[in-house]
Amino acid sequence: MQHFLSTQDWTKSELDQLLLAAKRLQQSPWNERMRRRSIALLFFNPSLRTRTSFELGMHQLGGHAVVLQPGKDAWGIAFEESTVMDGSEEEHMKEVAGVLSRYCDLIAVRAFPKGQDWLVDRQDLLIHHLAKYSQVPVINMETILHPCQELAFIMALQQRIGSVAKKRMTLTWTWHPKALNTAVANSALLIGTRFGMDVTLLIPEQAYALDEQFMQQAHSNAQASGGSVEVTTNIEQAYRDADVVYAKSWGALPLYGQVQEEQKLREPYRHFIVDEAKMSLTNNAVFSHCLPLRRNVKATDAVMDSPQCMALEEAENRLHVQKAIMLKLLNA
Amino acid sequence: MQHFLSTQDWTKSELDQLLLAAKRLQQSPWNERMRRRSIALLFFNPSLRTRTSFELGMHQLGGHAVVLQPGKDAWGIAFEESTVMDGSEEEHMKEVAGVLSRYCDLIAVRAFPKGQDWLVDRQDLLIHHLAKYSQVPVINMETILHPCQELAFIMALQQRIGSVAKKRMTLTWTWHPKALNTAVANSALLIGTRFGMDVTLLIPEQAYALDEQFMQQAHSNAQASGGSVEVTTNIEQAYRDADVVYAKSWGALPLYGQVQEEQKLREPYRHFIVDEAKMSLTNNAVFSHCLPLRRNVKATDAVMDSPQCMALEEAENRLHVQKAIMLKLLNA
Amino acid sequence: MQHFLSTQDWTKSELDQLLLAAKRLQQSPWNERMRRRSIALLFFNPSLRTRTSFELGMHQLGGHAVVLQPGKDAWGIAFEESTVMDGSEEEHMKEVAGVLSRYCDLIAVRAFPKGQDWLVDRQDLLIHHLAKYSQVPVINMETILHPCQELAFIMALQQRIGSVAKKRMTLTWTWHPKALNTAVANSALLIGTRFGMDVTLLIPEQAYALDEQFMQQAHSNAQASGGSVEVTTNIEQAYRDADVVYAKSWGALPLYGQVQEEQKLREPYRHFIVDEAKMSLTNNAVFSHCLPLRRNVKATDAVMDSPQCMALEEAENRLHVQKAIMLKLLNA
């Protein structure tokens, strides 16, 4: 039994097959290959695209999705081993996984990191415990990685520019009023290097470096794929001749959980916004973002509304790639 | 592409056709005309009837509805042009509309006015921005109008009394512990005059007058339809010989956003409750309300439980008219 | 028209037929017998299993479930007769029942007791008013009873040990950080005695006795079925030679609504946890619980992970018995 927790667990050839299947599903969205199949969608955090695309995707394949929000309309869930559950959680992941495995054919989960201790959160325990206890395949709908987004991004990029190998991809940090999850940044880094791109990570200062585990994976990826990884704090250098600009905001890991201090550190860097001036340095680059995006904070209206912006195509592709993933996991 | 934002955007003949289609769907509720079609239901506010009737209605036509609650289980949404989004909203309507248009065939939205500044709220910007940016038809599930309710009301009335032209309709304000939205009152006024009724708006004092834009539309409607509009503070005069009594509570627009002051103004008018004594002045009038209704606050148990009350029929008709609207918007 | 509010309203033969139908549905889960049928699921409280099993169950029978959360995404609901609704509830059960009866073929409700006055809560007014006003069958998804859980438990037990008559069932109170609902304890007591088991209710002290109405029903049940009921505070005596151990925590009724006092009373009884030492006193008993369960608070990991634990089977059976109940109520 295979899960879809990280693209790193899948071979490049398997990822290529998923993308091919997704493109076919875009052409021909409806079939009955998931008839009598169901998926439980566990949302610990809000969602618009993910919720809609999984629910509709399953429906378009003849199956059914059940949406659950633990701690809101369902019970809070603990997942540590041997824990004495006298806190706020009413239920253990062993039972949640066990029960949902008996009801459903797939389980997908969105569980953002808790934001207090990165040494804990970087282990991504919740989804790994879910996968461990589940009798059915588990799909990551965003934890500290967002692998469905990765495939949607690559698919959109391939449809825009063809083969992505050796293309220059700038992954730029942007300012945001809150210290956000690094998931999409980690994911963009992984998938770019996996597909042989020359990835430049642009950060305002060293504190915004991504976690070492993902940097190492990116370097291994690049070595295997013929791509490269480079980190810079130089905006002009990062944008110069880029073929792709991908924007994301995240909080500084050394100040993880220290909201005020992190905010102070971030404050001087509002000028990392993606704007026309920066885009004019590029090789007429396509621009994208995972959404939701705060306009005129992360990127200007001019960039978002330009023909270079492929954010909506990427969002649409969530539907197609997720259908491909569900079908593959169930060999359906 | 047509939207369903206000019945004022539709010709009388189109509205008649929707009502005819709704009556047919009541007789024959199930078909497959929305097979492979989907609708996104965006709820910024609670719902029981609207949610259930849209979701089931789509299902009965072979399609699928996705229920989203921005700011609760989905992200908060900004909609102003060129706004620097450094407040609480995470996402702009351009992207929401763009993404949902790629996933779904229809978008419906419930967005009550925010209740702070009527000069802003009376512009109904959220739904108009949604319609502007959407690539698919948009349906109003209640903003400062409630056009689906309008058709459900007229349909119930026609089924009770036949042709409604020249019938006397009393639209009465009632007391309620909170300053509510004027949407259903505006809508009742518009649809009554549109269908040639002689509409009397009963309010406790001038502060409870409805917005001038809807009064003007009502006067134009009456002129075109052969109906009439009149405003009074005289309870007896308003009820005398009425054929239809429609009740609704709303807050005084001159004190919009001033909760305490408005409450004080409203306090002396609890006697506007619809009761048997008032109903006995009428021409054995039918009574209705959009629901939810606070019993013995807006109307007495005796009135609600009387055979004259058609509130449940009106609620049922929501299902039928909304199915007719969805089918019409998609020419399905 | 029959409702499913309590197993006490159904004959033993009818319950046997439901269990038989459930076992058949476990073997053959999919059919179209609920085609064009729908159910409204009203949740006043959180749910994972109930929500998922009803929604999927209806889907597997070709029908559709609508999930509503009054007071959250739907309106708050009053249900007392002749009440002047100037409090927080926006809507009366008469209208909710009336409207949902027009949209749906079945209505199911979860409404935990409010926890302030047991003399009020023990009357279970909400669901009885819903059933009174509904034009369609009503199903109890847990109020002060949990009859769907009862059937799931008996089904799991029959599949483990065959005929349950004259088997020794220990229903043990366990500690929990909160004063929980007595519903599942009441239900386990009723269904055990109904099926002829010798039920021992183990409580830490007299304050944890269950409500007299359910004790009396249990005694009548036992008399009719050839079973028995006994109450004890002696742990060893309760566990000795038991064939089944069923665990549940609940608050002391004499201190109902007095959170702090009740907590103090409960505090010394953490040792009522189900552990291996206690289980070793039994006749190799099967263990179960309705879930959600706090591990190492109500039962140890060793007990939960042992082959004796049938909690997941019981949870799975919720799906099967609820499908049987829906089909039976609609003669479908």
Asked if C228 contacts C222 with a C-beta cutoff of 8 angstroms, the reply is: yes
CATH at A114: 3.40.50.1370
Nearest CA in chain A to C72: A73
In a domain, B296, yes or no: yes
Chains that touch A (3 or more CB pairs under 8 A): B, C
pLDDT digits 0-9 by tens, C277-322: 999 999 999 999 999 999 999 999 999 999 999 999 999 999 999 9
pLDDT digits 0-9 by tens, C57-72: 999 999 999 999 877 7
In this structure, what token pair is assigned to residue C125?
Answer: 């007014």
Spell out the alpha helix ranges (H) of B41-174.
49-60, 93-103, 118-121, 125-133, 147-161
Q: Shortest CB distance from B75 goes to which of A69, A292, A305?
A: A292
Q: Please judge whether B96 and A48 are an interchain contact, meaning their C-beta atoms are less than 8 angstroms apart.
A: yes
Kindly give, in sequence order, each residue whose CB lies less than 8 Å from that of residue C186, ignoring residues fewer than 6 positions away: C144, C145, C210, C211, C214
B232 touching chain C per CB within 8 A: no
In a domain, B187, yes or no: yes
In this structure, what token pair is assigned to residue B63?
Answer: 């399609």
A316 contacts in chain B (CB < 8 Å): 99, 102-103
Query: What CA–CA distance (Å, rounded) separates C318 from C183?
Result: 16
Question: Burial code of C131-150, b = ≥16 C-beta within 10 A, e = fewer?
Answer: bebbebbbbbbbbbbbbbbb
* Rounded percentage of chain A residues whose pLDDT exceeds 70: 99
pLDDT digits 0-9 by tens, A179-219: 999 999 999 999 999 999 999 999 999 999 999 999 999 99
B85 touching chain A per CB within 8 A: yes
Strands C168-173 and C91-92: unpaired
Instruction: List the domain range (segments joined by +) for residue B42.
Output: 7-145+318-329
Judged by phi (left if over 0) then psi (alpha if -120 to 50, else beta), residue C241 lies in left
**Which amino acid belongs to residue A9?**
D
Q: What is the mean pLDDT of residues B205-233?
A: 98
- Walk across the sheet containing A228-232 and list its strands: A228-232, A198-202, A168-173, A244-248, A286-288
A30 touching chain B per CB within 8 A: yes
Question: Are B93 and B51 in the same domain?
Answer: yes
Spatial CA neighbour of A42 closest among A106, A100, A109: A109
Nearest CA in chain B to C62: B59
Q: Shortest CB distance from A52 goes to which of B66, B86, B90?
A: B66
Query: What CA–CA distance (Å, rounded) separates A248 from B300?
Result: 57
pLDDT for the residue C73: 61
DSSP state of A38: E
C64 touching chain B per CB within 8 A: yes
Q: Which residue is it, tokens 């997720």?
A: A322
B104 touching chain A per CB within 8 A: yes
Kindly give, in sequence order, each residue whose CB lies less than 8 Å from that of residue A260, ignoring residues fewer than 6 positions away: none
Query: What CA–CA distance (Å, rounded) separates B174 from B274?
Result: 8
In a domain, A2, yes or no: no
Question: Are B173 and B117 in the same domain?
Answer: no
* First-residue to last-residue Cα distance in chain B: 13
Q: Shortest CB distance from B55 goes to which of C36, C66, C78?
A: C66
Query: What CA–CA distance (Å, rounded) separates B310 from B304?
Result: 9
In a domain, A225, yes or no: yes
Question: Are A173 and A288 in the same domain?
Answer: yes
pLDDT digits 0-9 by tens, B230-244: 999 999 999 999 999
C71 touching chain A per CB within 8 A: no
Q: Please judge whether A48 and B98 are an interchain contact, meaning their C-beta atoms are less than 8 angstroms apart.
A: no
C74 contacts in chain B (CB < 8 Å): 46-48, 51
Q: Shortest CB distance from A292 goes to which of B82, B95, B102?
A: B95
pLDDT for the residue A79: 85
Q: What is the dihedral of CA A291, A297, A298, A300, to 10 degrees?
A: 100
Count of residues for chain A? Answer: 332
The answer to whether residue C74 scores a pLDDT higher than 90 is no
In a domain, C2, yes or no: no
DSSP state of B9: G
Number of domains in chain B: 2
B212 touching chain A per CB within 8 A: no
C177 contacts in chain A (CB < 8 Å): 86-87
**Which amino acid belongs to residue C162?**
G
Q: Shortest CB distance from C319 goes to which of A75, A90, A103?
A: A103
DSSP state of C8: G
Question: Are A283 and A179 in the same domain?
Answer: yes
Give pTM, 2 decimals: 0.96
Question: Burial, C21: exposed, middle or buried (Cβ in 10 Å; 0-12, 13-18, 19+)?
Answer: middle
Spell out the alpha helix ranges (H) of A230-310.
235-239, 259-266, 276-279, 301-304
Query: What CA–CA distance (Å, rounded) separates B2 from A307?
Result: 26
Q: Please judge whether B36 and A30 are an interchain contact, meaning their C-beta atoms are less than 8 angstroms apart.
A: yes
A295 touching chain B per CB within 8 A: yes
Spatial CA neighbour of A181 closest among A250, A111, A96: A250
Q: How high is the mean pLDDT of chain A? A: 96
Question: Are C173 and C259 in the same domain?
Answer: yes
Count of residues for chain B? Answer: 332
φ, ψ for residue B313 (rounded to 5)? Answer: -65, -45
Question: Are B40 and B155 in the same domain?
Answer: no
Asked if A289 contacts A247 with a C-beta cutoff of 8 angstroms, the reply is: yes
Question: Are A194 and A301 in the same domain?
Answer: yes
pLDDT for the residue B76: 75
In this structure, what token pair is assigned to residue C267?
Answer: 């505090």
Angle, CA of A13, A209 and A256, to the nearest 5°: 110
In a domain, C135, yes or no: yes
Q: Please judge whether A98 and C315 are an interchain contact, meaning their C-beta atoms are less than 8 angstroms apart.
A: yes
Neighbours of C264 (CB within 10 A): 11
Q: What is the mean pLDDT of residues A112-124?
A: 94
* First-residue to last-residue Cα distance in chain A: 13
Using pLDDT thresholds of 50, 70 and 90, give the confidence band for residue A45.
confident
Question: Are C276 and C167 in the same domain?
Answer: yes
In a domain, B208, yes or no: yes
Query: C81 or B290, which is more confident?
Result: B290
Q: Please judge whether A48 and B68 are an interchain contact, meaning their C-beta atoms are less than 8 angstroms apart.
A: yes
Question: Are A131 and A199 in the same domain?
Answer: no
Mutate to test the interface with B, among C36, C42, C58, C73 (most CBs of B within 10 A): C73
In a domain, A83, yes or no: yes
**Which amino acid belongs to residue A190?**
L
Q: Please judge whether C95 and B312 are an interchain contact, meaning their C-beta atoms are less than 8 angstroms apart.
A: yes
Strands C38-43 and B38-43: unpaired
DSSP state of C228: E
Chains that touch B (3 or more CB pairs under 8 A): A, C
Question: Burial, C251: exposed, middle or buried (Cβ in 10 Å; 0-12, 13-18, 19+)?
Answer: buried
Question: Are A102 and A218 in the same domain?
Answer: no
Q: Shortest CB distance from B90 goes to which of A53, A292, A311?
A: A292
Question: Are B155 and B304 in the same domain?
Answer: yes
Does residue A292 have a cis peptide bond before it, meaning omega lies within 30 degrees of 0?
A: yes
Asked if A39 contacts A304 with a C-beta cutoff of 8 angstroms, the reply is: no
List, as own/partner pairs, every contact residues A9-15 make where C-beta atoms lie below 8 angstroms and the sequence separation is at least 24, other chains included. Answer: A12/A194, A12/A195, A12/A225, A14/A328, A15/A151, A15/A154, A15/A194
Neighbours of B253 (CB within 10 A): 20
A267 touching chain B per CB within 8 A: no
pLDDT for the residue B136: 98
Question: Are B105 and B152 in the same domain?
Answer: no
pLDDT for the residue C126: 92
Using pLDDT thresholds of 50, 70 and 90, give the confidence band for residue B74.
low
Q: Please judge whether C103 and B53 are an interchain contact, meaning their C-beta atoms are less than 8 angstroms apart.
A: yes
